[in-house]
Amino acid sequence: MDALLFENAKKFDAKPSTKFPTKNSCLTIVYAKTGKRIELSKTIHEMLGNAEKVDFSFDSKQKIIFAFADENGSSVKMNKNKAVIYNAPLVKEIIDKFKLDFTEQTSISFEKYEAVDGNENVVGIYLA
């Protein structure tokens, strides 16, 4: 093949995607036709005492979601190294409260978190 063909070729406009969850993500929100769910990392799930049920609260001013073990919360299903919570209304509420944009992606992941002082099995996850 002639090298001139390559030299005159135009590059595609598409750029590599950075929207896939990173290995360091602690929480991923999935909003897709195939399902709406929250995925917690193994580390976060362990910090929650490997709870079978988890609930969430939020501080919209600080853009923090709090995950905590709660027997009245949503059931956790383990999938590989993730704790998965299938709760479409909760996912929708989080998207609305924090104005998360899913127009060109099906998941958004967050990396920054910390344990809440004096509250065992409560983790704050920063959305900003």
Q: Per-domain residue ranges for the chain?
A: 23-126
Closest by CA to 91, choosing from 17, 34, 21, 51, is 34
Q: Does the pLDDT of residue 16 top 60, yes or no? A: no
Q: Is the Cβ–Cβ distance between 30 and 90 less than 8 Å?
A: no
Sign, CA dihedral 42-44-105-23, equals negative
The better pLDDT of the pair 101, 19 is held by 101
List, for residues 30-76, the tens digit of each pLDDT value.
999 989 999 999 999 999 999 999 999 998 888 999 999 999 999 99
The better pLDDT of the pair 29, 116 is held by 29
Q: Is the Cβ–Cβ distance between 26 and 100 less than 8 Å?
A: no
Point out which residues pair with 78 in neighbouring strands: 83
Q: Does the pLDDT of residue 116 top 80, yes or no? A: yes
**What's the rounded Cα separation, in Å, for the pair 90 and 67?**
12
**Would the pTM count as exceeding 0.75?**
yes
Q: What is the pLDDT, as a whole number, of residue 31?
A: 96
What are the φ and ψ backbone dihedral angles of 81, each rounded to 5 degrees? -105, 25
**What's the rounded Cα separation, in Å, for the pair 68 and 124?**
9
